[in-house]
Every structure is written in C-alpha cells, then in structure tokens.
Amino acid sequence: MHPKRRLSSRASGILSALNIPSNKELSGVYDGQWKGSGEAIESVCPTTGEVLARIRTASPADVSETLTKTREAYFQFRDVPAPRRGEILRQIREKLANKREELGALVTLEMGKIRSEGVGEVQEFIDICDYAVGLSRMMNGRIVASERPGHSILEVPNPLGVVAVLSAFNFPVAVYGWNLALSLAAGNATIWKPSPTTPLTSIAVTSIIAEVLSKNNLPGALAGLVTGGQPVGEVLVGSKEVELVSFTGSERVGRIVGQAVVSRFGKSILELGGNNASIVMPDADLSLAVPGVFFGAVGTAGQRCTSTRRLFLHRDIAPEFLQRLQKLYASLKPGDPLDDNTLLGPLHTPAAVNLYESTVEYLRSIDADILFGGKGYEMTPYYGGNFVQPTIAVPKSVEMSDRIWSTETFAPILNVAIFDELEEAIRWNNAVPQGLSSSLWTRDLRNVGKWTGPSGSDAGIVNVNAGTSGAEIGASFGGNKSTGWGRESGGDAWKQYVRWSACTINFSNEAPLAQGVNFNIE
C-alpha cells in the first residue's frame, strides 16, 4: 500500500481537465483496453519535485499482446482508402484542437517547458494532422516510361506495416504526432513507447485518439501505447513484427537501436544528437541575431534537439554581440513555467542538473572564460525544482575535436569561439560528429550562397537569418552524420512509411525483354 498523495492545486486542476484521475494508479498500456502488469513508475513534476501520478507500465506479456493486436489492426486498416484515413486524421485534429490548452499545460507540468512552448507543441500535432489530411489524397506513385512497346512501369506506394515510435522527453507530443499522422495516412498501425519520464502526456494523447478510433469502429490498437523503460523498447526494436522503428534520443542509444533494427532487416528513422552552431557575420542585423541566438540557446532551458550549443562570432562584432547577449541573459528569471510571463523553466530531471554541473566544472578545469551563469539559482519559485542558470562560456581551445565542442550537453550551456573568415566558421560547424541544425546571420547574398551550397553547412537544417530552433512541419525534419540521417514531418518524409513496388504492366500482344535480350526458342 502506498500512502495517499495530496496533489497541489496547480497539478490537480490540469489533470482534472483531461479526465486523468489523481487518486489512483493509472494503466500505462493501451491496445483497445487500458491495462498494465509491469513495474510501477512515477511521473514527477520538474518544477516542484512533486509526484504527479503512479503508472503501471507494460510487462513483457503486455508488450507481446499489444504488438499482436497492433498487427491485427494493421491488417484491417491497410485496405481502408487513403482519403478515408485522412478523415480519421481530421477528426483526431479536431479533438486535439479542442484540448490544445489543456494538453499544452500538461506538457508544461510534466516536461517543464514554458506554457507557450507546451501549447505550441500540441499545435505541431494539430498542424501535422492538417498536413496529413491533404497528403492522404496526394500520396502518389508515378508512371515511368518503358523502353518496351506496349508496356508501362508504375512505382506504387502501399502501407508498410507496424510502426514503433520511441519518443524522447523533450517533445512528448510533437514527435509522436509527426510519426502517427504520416503512419496513419500511409495505412499503417502504430505502437508508441514514450519516455518513461512523460507517461501522463502519452496517456492523455492516446485517450483522445482512442475516442476517435472507437467512434469510427476502428481497433484501438491502431494507435497502441506501451509505457515503460529500456526492456519495453528492446522488445519493440528487436521484433520482426515491427517494420519501422522511429527513435528519438541520444547518439549512444541510437547506435544500438540502428544496429538492432538493421540486423533483422527492418527500417529505422533515427533522430539523435544536435550540437548545433550559429555563425554571426560582421554584416549581420544584430537586432535579429542576438534574440535568435538567445532563444536558440535558452528556449526549453536548452533541452531541444535543435538548441544552439556553439556560437561562432566574427571578430569585428564579437564584443558588441556578447554584451547584448549577456544583457538578455541577465534579464532571465526562473519561474513557474505555467505562468505566461515565465521564459525559463527547469531542467527535466535531477540527472540533467548533474550533467549541467559536471559540464560547468569541466569548463572551469580547462580554464574557459565563463561570461555568465555557471551555477544554480539561490532563489527559485519552488524548492524541489531543477533550475539552473543558462551559461555562456569561451573555451581557450577552438579544436572542434575537443570534448567541450564535440560532445553535446543537453542543458543551457553556450560555448563561444571567435573567427576571422566565413570558411573557418564553416569548417568548425562541420567538424563535429553531429549534423542536425545550423544557422548563419548575414545580409550578404554571397555568404548565403556559400553557406547553403556544396561547400557550406553539412547539417540537415541550414538556416539563414533564423535560429537553429523553431522548425515548421511543412519541411522534413532531421539531421545528417551521427544525428542519424532520419527525416520526419513534412517534405518527402512520408515516403519512409510505405513500401514501394515497381510494377511492369504489359498490355501488348508481345513479350519483349528489356535491353534487347533475345531468349527465343526457334
């Protein structure tokens, strides 16, 4: 027996608005029925340290049974016409929009990002549903001209199978939304393993989707849920019943996931480390660049995959830029992320605080010049919160192979270096293992051409006069090199969620072979 918890009013009101009971253990598995027979985990608020709920996670038997039901759901759904699948997504979109503010508040409560970012993340799910509704009528193949008379070649997309989505804590709604929307539009079934530290958000989102599926007489396992830790993820990654694994997380775990999936000839989408850089040229508009870098480095308390970690300043503008940036940093005050006026919330876990502290300690050990921050706050809005000061540091070395540059720290620490020529800054940008996002601040068209061209940034996102953070859903999202080469959301990302067939059709009275091959029997 566990003693009754007395939940704060700030938390109980949010849970109540989403019909999440706060007085009993919650089921963390959904396959058409809510259940769970694995270990119990706790959802902890990063702002206050209070336990929000206890959740019963998936046991190995639960995962196996949910996978079986998800596959059965796929067999039923794959023959549903694509525009009809789009109608299901339209209804999901409407349900999400009706609960946008409440879901956004839950993201803030459980993950810790500020309220406008929490609501914005739910809006991303809504937006990708809009996108997928249109996509459901445009998931086209193509006709290829044949060299043989009376023949046509069709390239045809068909549903792929079961898609497993393993999402991270920092975007507990949007990343699942990107995958679910495209997966359903393509005719697949999806099974979701969220981060074990954001189970409440996944339960709330799944409940909303389940209502739509039930209303349309579709199996709930079409959008299944299995909460839990590493053992749950290992089952999904290793299962031959899962055609595609979409994994968002660290480079270390991503390498394990990628190797496991390819060993059974499955498909994977990997969204891993960022370690993103912004470059500021002497002709840059600093009224744009300074706030852009500020949000990139400090937004979500530095816990975005696209957060700005490295800042390369041209020598001519470095003093003024840093002076302006430090002034913005000094204006930041930690606050309750549910307060609309707060810009800086907590880190997600105490482990993240430890990582922040060890990185600052390392910066000091290599005699880096710490311009701002480098410690926790003496006064915070809540005693149990994971609040740290965003930090600006100038390491003595500009060797990008050094640990401080090549290893991403998932915390609000910005490392600065000074350059003289754009080519030097581009080399630094490209010299790290990761390749997610990058940005150049300039008003010179020649710099833009160099930056976006063959000798420019090697990242998956290459921005000009826009920060490294804040991608829209219309373009595909993802990175290169050790970021994983995965692409999600818009653009051509949908093509990963289907299987492709080349279909040669002979409508003639002859059967010639290609390339003029003669295999006739006289």
CA angle 488, 94, 133 (to 5 degrees): 45
> What is the DSSP secondary structure assignment for residue 56, as one 8-state letter?
E
Contact between residue 406 and residue 432 where contact means Cβ atoms under 8 Å apart: yes
Yes or no: say if 173 and 49 are a contact pair by the CB < 8 Å rule: no
Q: Say whether 234 sits in a helix, a strand or coil.
A: helix
Cα 384 from Cα 380, distance rounded (Å): 9
Q: Which of 110, 271, 408, 488 is catalytic?
A: 271
Sign of the CA dihedral with 240 first, then 244, 248, and 250 last: positive
405: tokens are: 């540059």
Secondary structure letter of residue 185 according to DSSP = H
Short-list 247, 282, 279, 281, CA closest to 430: 279
Contacts of 377 (CB under 8 A, 6+ apart): 334, 387, 388, 389
Scan for tokens 């566990």, then name that residue.
Answer: 2
Write the CA distances from 369 to 312, 362, 377, 402, 518, integer angstroms.
15, 12, 20, 16, 75
Going from the C-alpha of 141 to that of each of 160, 412, 490, the distances in angstroms are 15, 44, 17
**Cα-only R_g, the chain:** 25
Q: What is the DSSP letter of 198?
A: -
Asked if 271 is an active-site residue, the reply is yes
Yes or no: say if 296 and 279 are a contact pair by the CB < 8 Å rule: no
Laid out side by side, the sheet with 308-314 consists of 369-372, 391-394, 413-419, 308-314, 276-280, 437-441, 461-464
Per DSSP, the three-state class of 363 is helix
Distance of CA 159 to the CA centre of its chain: 23
Give the CA-trace dihedral at 235, 212, 210, 162, to 10 degrees. Answer: -10
Contact call for residues 264 and 238 (beta carbons, < 8 A): yes
Report the SS3 class of residue 391.
strand
Sorted by sequence, the CB contacts under 8 Å of residue 388 that are 6+ apart come out as: 301, 347, 353, 356, 357, 373, 375, 376, 377, 411, 412
Tell me the catalytic residues.
271
